[in-house]
């Protein structure tokens, strides 16, 4: 028996990076980490943006 898991992901970590080496624009990067509390499968979701102002999600 190997039933498919109806994953239930739980957020467990967030990392943020900010790169403003380039004049006038900043690269914002956020990575959220999740794991399924049933089978322990891991997922990550990345967001990046190049803007002058901080994005809402950062």
Min dist CB 5 to Zn ion, Å, is 3
Confirm or reject binding of residue 7 to Zn ion (CB under 5 A): yes
**Residue number, 19 or 37, with CB nearest to Zn ion:** 37
Where in 27-56 is the site for Zn ion (CB under 5 A)? 36, 38-39, 41
Cα–Cα distance measured from residue 45 to residue 19, given in angstroms and rounded to the nearest whole number: 19
Beta carbons within 8 Å of 6's beta carbon, 6+ residues apart: 38
Tokens at 49, concatenated: 């943006």
Please give the size of the binding site for Zn ion, defined by CB under 5 A: 6
Min dist CB 42 to Zn ion, Å, is 10
Beta carbons within 8 Å of 23's beta carbon, 6+ residues apart: none
């Amino acid at each position: 028996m190997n039933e498919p898991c109806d994953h239930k992901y739980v957020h467990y970590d967030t990392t943020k990076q900010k790169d403003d080496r380039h004049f006038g624009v900043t690269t914002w990067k956020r990575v959220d980490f999740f794991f399924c509390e049933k089978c322990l499968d891991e997922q990550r979701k990345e967001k990046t943006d190049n803007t002058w102002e901080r994005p809402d999600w950062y």
